């Protein structure tokens, strides 16, 4: 069997009109659900013709004419990140509920691709874009021909809507939980803070809370590149443990990716979470319960974040020009044995 299905060519609106013995206009009206303006018999004939020809309207032509494509795009930093994928699921559902198709653009952490995709999306005339974790400060972001909603990242005064986790609430919840559980020395481990508002907010809130408590040692470690600097990570952990010998110690990781790196480090160092040290992770990776005794996490309402980011975008696409808003959702603490 050969693979030459390209040969089959599709019926057009004219074909339908001809078969139904009418004009393209009426067919178009039928397609757009303007039934009140079509006689029953004509409607019948058109219906028939469409079925017979197996006709489906060409979206490209439609888009060209109407100036809207029913396409929206999600730009994300790293498709490997489960958080992004979960957000994407919510977004996808919202798109389908509203007749939109989602274009997924994976920056793959390559700076150059940010611009590449933005241009591409302009070329394809997408109706709107949702951006997760873009870091460029390029001027291209200033005058985009479509509305934009930002997920999980605040970007300086661009006037875009934002949806994400309520980092203050979440960090407060996590920090207080650890303190209430009797941990006396807490180290907060994060990836690069530069340009990533979310991480900064978590760090700052953590610092603030720790400072308010007497007798609690709070420390923040920022490691630029977790993949490269594994010994640095190990060193920080070791020196933290030495410095705080005798105290109940815990680690907080800023996101799921860092959690993986820290778990690996702890294994290397032969430190057992839940016994030798506490461990609490932002994000709730699927493997959190299977890693050692299980890892306590701060789960984000990712699906909801994805879904409502579409809703915000939708409002903009319909012409809402009001002030940019922020929608922040609370996180949820999932307690496992790493913080016993």
Partner DNA sequence: CTGTTAGCGCTTTCAT
Partner DNA sequence: ATGAAAGCGCTAACAG
Instruction: Looking at residues 48 to 77 of the shown chain, list those that interact with a second copy (rule: CB under 8 A).
Output: 56-61, 63-64, 69
How far is the C-alpha of 88 from the C-alpha of 303, rounded, in Å? 8
Task: To the nearest 10°, report the CA torsion of 18, 20, 25, 27.
Answer: -120
Residue 316 binds: one of DNA, a second copy, none (C-beta under 5 to 8 A by kind):
a second copy
Size of the site for a second copy (CB under 8 A): 71
Nearer to a second copy, 229 or 289 (CB): 289
In DSSP terms, which residues pair with 72 in a beta bridge?
A: 102, 128
Q: Residue 51 CB, nearest distance to DNA (Å)? A: 15
How far is the C-alpha of 278 from the C-alpha of 288, rounded, in Å? 14
Residue 101 binding a second copy, by CB under 8 A: yes
Question: Which one of the spans 20-28, 175-183, 258-266, 274-282 is the region binding a second copy (CB under 8 A)?
Answer: 258-266
How far is the C-alpha of 128 from the C-alpha of 63, rounded, in Å? 14
Residue 89 binding a second copy, by CB under 8 A: yes
Q: In the complex, which residues of this chain contact DNA (CB under 7 A)? A: 12-14, 21-29, 31-32, 36-39, 41-43, 57-58, 61-62, 64-66
Question: Which one of the spans 2-10, 15-23, 190-198, 214-222 is the region binding a second copy (CB under 8 A)?
Answer: 2-10
- Is residue 205 helix, strand or coil? helix
Q: Residue 97 CB, nearest distance to a second copy (Å)? A: 12
List the interface residues with a second copy, window 147-166 (CB under 8 A): 147-148, 157-161
* Whether the Cβ atoms of residue 114 and residue 85 lie closer than 8 Å to each other: no
How far is the C-alpha of 22 from the C-alpha of 188, rounded, in Å? 71
Nearer to DNA, 61 or 140 (CB): 61
Query: Which single residue is written with the structure tokens 């803070």?
Result: 193
Residue 260 binds: one of a second copy, DNA, none (C-beta under 5 to 8 A by kind):
a second copy
End-to-end CA distance of the chain: 62
Residue 289 binding a second copy, by CB under 8 A: yes
Question: Given CA atoms 157, 152, 87, 167 in this order, what sign does their dihedral have?
Answer: negative
> Binding a second copy by CB under 8 A: which of 42, 216, 260, 272?
260
How far is the C-alpha of 3 from the C-alpha of 147, rounded, in Å? 41
Residue 304 binding a second copy, by CB under 8 A: no
């Amino acid at each position: 069997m050969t693979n030459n299905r390209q040969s089959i060519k599709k019926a057009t609106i004219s074909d339908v009109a001809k078969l139904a013995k009418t004009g393209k206009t009426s067919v178009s009206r039928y397609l757009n659900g303007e039934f009140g303006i079509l006689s029953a018999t004509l409607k019948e004939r058109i219906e028939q013709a469409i079925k017979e020809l197996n006709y489906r309207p060409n979206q490209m032509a439609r888009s060209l004419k109407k100036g809207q494509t029913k396409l929206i795009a999600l730009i994300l930093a790293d498709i490997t990140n489960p958080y992004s994928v979960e957000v994407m699921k919510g977004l996808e559902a919202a798109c389908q509920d509203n007749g939109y198709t989602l274009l997924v653009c994976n920056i793959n952490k390559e700076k150059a691709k940010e611009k590449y995709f933005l241009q591409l999306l302009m070329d394809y005339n997408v109706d709107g874009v949702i951006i997760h974790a873009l870091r460029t400060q390029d001027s291209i972001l200033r005058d985009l021909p479509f509305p934009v909603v930002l997920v999980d990242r605040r970007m300086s005064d661009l006037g875009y809507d934002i949806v994400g986790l309520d980092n203050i609430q979440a960090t407060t919840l996590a920090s207080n939980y650890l303190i209430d559980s009797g941990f006396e020395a807490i180290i907060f481990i994060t990836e690069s803070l530069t340009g990533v508002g979310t991480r900064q907010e978590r760090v700052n809130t953590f610092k603030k809370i720790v400072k308010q408590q007497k007798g609690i040692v709070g420390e923040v470690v920022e490691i630029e590149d977790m993949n490269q600097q594994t010994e640095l990570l190990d060193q920080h952990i070791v020196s933290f443990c030495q410095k705080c010998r005798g105290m109940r110690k815990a680690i907080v990781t800023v996101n799921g990716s860092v959690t993986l790196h820290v778990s690996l480090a702890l294994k290397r160092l032969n430190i057992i979470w839940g016994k030798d040290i506490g461990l609490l992770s932002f994000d709730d990776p699927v493997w959190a319960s299977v890693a050692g005794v299980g890892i306590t996490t701060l789960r984000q309402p990712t699906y909801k974040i994805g879904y409502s980011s579409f809703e915000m975008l939708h409002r903009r696409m319909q012409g809402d020009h009001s002030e940019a808003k922020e929608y922040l959702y609370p996180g949820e603490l999932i307690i496992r044995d790493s913080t016993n």
